[in-house]
Amino acid sequence: MKFYHYCPSMILLLVMFTSCEKQTGDYRLERNDFLYPLAAIIEYQHALDLEITKVQDHSEFAPYLAQRSDSMARYIAELQAIYPLPEADLTAEAKANLLNLQNNQGPGYPKLLLQLVMQADEDLIGLHVKASGPAGLKDVILRQWTAEKLPMLTKRLDASQTLWHTH
């Protein structure tokens, strides 16, 4: 299981670096090369958010979930204004992670759940970095939008990491 921690300043430096490269970029990604993996990640994050609702005995999870839900709703609404999000199923890895999580309902459940949420957040950030980079999306509007979303996505990851470290 991969588990990376992105430093917000490192992500912003990467975005600044890739934005300098954009003028000479060799854009390769088609719109659907971004939208289909994105839809699968969003579906997985939604399933994880449903799991967060099951953590009733920890009061700090309620505001955390509210913030995540609100930011993702705004994110999806903005994306839908540009392009419709395709329907997607959970990947085999996501299904396995959820099954493992649901089979581990003991005291380690909140920590495992947060670990999976952070991994999903990192995957979403990685997809945006790739899409906005020098070999990223051919679609200029979508490429710029992906770069603009990185600070919000980083903030979501930071909130997950903070909760994980304090839990």
pLDDT digits (tens, 9 = 90+) for 81-90: 999 999 999 9
Hey, which residues does 29 pair with through a beta bridge? 137
**Contact in structure between 38 and 87 (CB atoms under 8 Å):** no
Tokens of 17: 């670096």
Q: What is the pLDDT of residue 9?
A: 44
Q: What is the pLDDT of residue 12?
A: 45
**Pairwise CA distance, residues 163 & 167, whole Å:** 6
Q: What is the pLDDT of residue 59?
A: 86
Q: What is the pLDDT of residue 75?
A: 97
Query: Is the Cα torsion angle 112, 155, 130, 77 positive or negative in sign?
Result: positive
Q: What is the pLDDT of residue 24?
A: 58
The model's pTM is 0.83
Q: What is the pLDDT of residue 17?
A: 47
Q: What is the pLDDT of residue 18?
A: 47
With a cut of 70, which residues of the chain have pLDDT below it? 1-25
**Contact in structure between 15 and 134 (CB atoms under 8 Å):** no
Q: What is the pLDDT of residue 56?
A: 72
Q: What is the pLDDT of residue 144?
A: 97
**Pairwise CA distance, residues 155 & 151, whole Å:** 6
Q: What is the pLDDT of residue 16?
A: 47
**Contact in structure between 112 and 104 (CB atoms under 8 Å):** yes
